[in-house]
Amino acid sequence: MTQNVGGIDRTLRILVGLGLMAAAATGTVGLWGYLGVMPLLTGLVGWCPPYALLGFNTCALKK
């Protein structure tokens, strides 16, 4: 698996994932908030399956 999620994208995914999970844990949103696990995992791993299927890559080019 080659990384296809770049720095800013990874940071946003982690923050959104944590925010959704925290909102679900506190009862602010319903159980759907636990879907925040997906952006959290893709942010931590640096690889996103839909990006791979569609050919997107937000990583900086390596020289």
Q: What is the pLDDT of residues 11-63, one digit of tens each?
A: 999 999 999 999 999 999 999 999 999 999 999 999 999 999 999 999 987 65
39 in Cβ contact with 17 (< 8 Å):
yes
| CB contact set of 53 (below 8 Å; sequence gap of 6+) | none
C-alpha distances (whole Å) from 51 to each of 6, 15, 36, 38, 44 are 11, 19, 17, 13, 15
**pLDDT band, very low/low/confident/very high, at 1 (cuts 50, 70, 90):** confident
At residue 63, the pLDDT reads 56
